[in-house]
Amino acid sequence: MSENKVIYTAGTGSSIDVTFEDFKARPCVLHRLSPGFVAPTPDEIRFVRLNLLGWPQTKLGAFLGYPIDKKGCATVRRWERPVDASNHRNIEYNAWRRMLVAAGVIDSEDDLLTAERHLELLA
């Protein structure tokens, strides 16, 4: 997968055109305690859901434990809405990390090591 470009063009006209390895280097993939972390955009959330996981909103909602119905998952829809939309909601950090682990973008062990290093710095 890292040799091929995964191309995703969002309905808003913006696009994410990166390799899998390039996506892993984006600021939204950093641990929240790491300098440079930036919360994911709706396009990045949609990119992971569609291009890396290959899941519909319903499957992602069920995986994360959110209510789902025949229309999909309202929670996931809100995360993927444009930031300036009245019904946009920011994704919860833990839901984002679970998505990244499921997609193979991060290793959960790395998060544990980052948290331990942060605790050591506070001590």
pTM value is: 0.85
* CA 6 vs CA 29, 39, 58: distances in Å: 17, 21, 22
Who contacts 87 (Cβ-Cβ below 8 Å, separation ≥6)?
78, 81
Counting every residue written for the chain, the total comes to 123
- For 64-87, the pLDDT digits (tens) are 999 999 888 999 999 999 999 999
Q: What is the tally of helices (H) and strands (E) in the chain?
A: 6, 2
> Exposure of 47 by Cβ count < 10 A (0-12 exposed, 13-18 middle, 19+ buried)?
buried
- For 33-64, the pLDDT digits (tens) are 889 999 999 999 999 999 999 999 999 999 99
